[in-house]
């Protein structure tokens, strides 16, 4: 069989359009315009691209985008002062400090300083704890996008066997909690798990977020399983250039899986779209309004 390709680009575009519609409805109904503040420290090229995309998509969705660029040698105190200012600003409903930060700064301290109500990255301990407890919380954007992509294939995840390969705080751990909230049966594994191919072979849903190029092979995949590839790795190509690949051997897996995300064009497309979702949800919650229909 040949797997159905899950079109992350199309699904993200549809989600952004729904966010724009809800943002417009919110302005008309209450006069509230959601605002997202993004803080970029230094000039990492990849981070520059991410921030530029977030700025463009935020404005396109009819929300206000606040950009704050700080030099790489900014002090911890200066960065925390900016976060405190954004916490107090009523026009800002979402705060995202672009990671990674320079090594001179303490990432955990910065994340902890963000108002949990405005933590649209879903990394504050309060949001992580609420998510782990099964309570409503702002969830990290990439795991949220993974759930949306999976639901484009399966109307319900209830009772399905899922495996999450990777245990990071940004993806693996929150994805585990979101899957449990969907009543899936979840195994969380990592690069050191024993008999990992056998664990994968039992799964109806495979989420690869381990950060190793094409680690998950086609013969690991159960016939007809849905594969969500979260990895982004750059490999040398024959022409001397480089190419992007995921954590799954796509050509092999697509011959076995029922549905699979490509890299690029899969999960990565969803992250910014879900950031817009979180910002709109945060704006409504802060204003005491009902949850938006996204």
Query: Which residues have a catalytic role annotated?
Result: 54, 98, 121
Between strands 233-236 and 242-245, the pairing is: antiparallel
**What dihedral angle (degrees, nearest 10) is formed by the CA atoms of 292, 153, 215, 233?**
-50
Rounded CA gap, 230 and 21, in Å? 28
Cβ pair 64, 91 in contact under 8 A: yes
Rounded CA gap, 169 and 174, in Å? 7
Bin 95: left if φ > 0, else alpha if -120 < ψ < 50, else beta.
Answer: beta
Rounded CA gap, 204 and 160, in Å? 6
């Amino acid at each position: 069989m040949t797997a159905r390709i899950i079109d992350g680009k199309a699904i993200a575009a549809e989600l952004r359009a729904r966010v724009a519609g809800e943002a417009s409805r919110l302005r008309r109904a209450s006069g509230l315009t959601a605002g997202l503040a993004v803080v970029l420290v230094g000039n990492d090229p990849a981070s520059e691209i991410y921030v530029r995309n977030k700025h463009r998509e935020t404005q396109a969705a009819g929300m206000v985008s606040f950009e704050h660029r700080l030099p790489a040698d900014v002090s911890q105190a200066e960065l925390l002062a900016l976060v405190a200012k954004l916490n107090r600003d009523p026009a800002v409903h979402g705060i995202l400090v672009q990671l990674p930060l320079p090594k001179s700064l303490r990432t955990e301290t910065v994340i902890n300083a963000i108002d949990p109500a405005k933590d649209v990255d879903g990394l504050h301990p309060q949001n992580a704890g609420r998510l782990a407890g099964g309570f409503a919380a702002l969830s990290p954007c990439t795991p949220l996008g993974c759930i949306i992509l999976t639901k484009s294939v399966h109307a319900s995840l209830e009772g399905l066997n899922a495996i999450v390969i990777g245990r990071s705080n940004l993806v693996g751990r929150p994805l585990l909690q979101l899957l449990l909230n969907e009543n899936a049966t979840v195994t969380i594994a990592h690069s050191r798990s024993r008999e990992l191919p056998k664990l994968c072979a039992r799964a109806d849903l495979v989420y690869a977020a381990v950060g190793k190029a094409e680690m998950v092979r086609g013969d690991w995949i159960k016939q007809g399983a849905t594969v969500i590839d979260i990895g982004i790795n750059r490999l040398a190509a024959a022409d001397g250039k480089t190419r992007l690949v995921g954590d799954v051997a796509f050509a092999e897996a697509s011959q076995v899986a029922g549905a699979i995300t490509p890299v690029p064009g899969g999960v990565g497309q969803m992250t910014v779209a879900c950031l817009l979702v979180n910002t709109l949800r945060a704006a409504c919650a802060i204003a005491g309004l009902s949850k938006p229909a996204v």
